[in-house]
A and B are shown apart, each in its own frame.
Chain A
Amino acid sequence: MAEMWINMGPQHPMTHGLWNLRIKVDGETIIDAEPEVGYLHRGIEKLCEGKTYTQIIPIADRLCYGASLSWSHLYCVAVEDLLGLEVLPRAEYIRVAALEMQRIASHLMWLAAYAADLGAMIGFIYSMRDREVFIDLLQALSGSRITYNFPRFGGVAHDIPPNFERDSLRACDYMEKRLKEYEDLYEGSKVFMLRNEGVGLLKKEDAMNLGVTGPSLRASGVRYDLRKDMPYSVYQELDFEPATHKDGDCYARFKVRMDEMYESCKIIRQAVTKMPKGKWRTLAPRNAPEGTGLGRVEDPRGEGVMYVVGDGTDRPYRLKIRSPIFVTVSAAPKMLIGYKIADVVAIMGGLDMCIGESDR
Chain B
Amino acid sequence: MAERGKSTGRPEEGLERAPSRIGEDPEERVIRALLDGFPNTVTDFKKLRKGVLRAKIERRELYKACKLLKDSLGFEHLSMISAVEYDSRFELVYHIVSYQERLLLELVTTTPKDDPSVDSISSIWGGANWQERESYDLMGIKFNNHPKLERILLPKDYVYHPLRKDFKG
Contact = CB atoms under 8 A, between A and B. Distances in A.
Interface residues of B, number: 46
Interface string B105-145: 01000000000000000000111111100100010000000
Contact of B126 (A45, A209, A255): A209
A241 B128 CA distance: 29
A95 B51 CA distance: 23
Nearest to B130: A330
A244 interface: yes
B43 interface: no
A305 B93 CA distance: 13
Interface string A299-332: 0000101010100000001101010001101110
Given A45-B138, A46-B162, A211-B78, A262 B130 contact: no
Given A38-B154, A223-B15, A230 B9 contact: no
Contact of B17 (A38, A45, A223): A223
A211 B77 contact: yes
Contact of A209 (B76, B80, B83, B102): B76
A318 B9 contact: no
Contacts of B79: 211, 296, 303, 305, 322
Given A41-B153, A305-B79, A209 B14 contact: no
Interface in A181-211: 183-184, 187-188, 206, 208-211
Nearest to A208: B76
Contacts of A184: 1
Given A38-B152, A259-B8, A262-B8, A209 B1 contact: no
A116 interface: no
Contacts of B19: none
B12 A221 contact: yes
A38 B1 CA distance: 41
B126 A224 contact: no
B58 interface: no
Given A246-B12, A305-B79, A322-B79, A330 B102 contact: no
B99 A224 contact: yes
A167 interface: no
Nearest to B169: A46
Contacts of B77: 208, 211, 213
Given A210-B127, A262-B8, A318-B85, A307 B15 contact: no
Given A210-B126, A241-B10, 14 more contacts: A184-B1, A208-B77, A221-B12, A229-B99, A240-B9, A241-B11, A243-B8, A243-B9, A255-B4, A259-B7, A296-B95, A327-B131, A329-B130, A330-B126
Interface of B: 1, 4-5, 7-12, 14-15, 17, 51-52, 76-80, 82-85, 93, 95, 99, 102, 104, 106, 125-131, 134, 138, 151-155, 162-163, 167
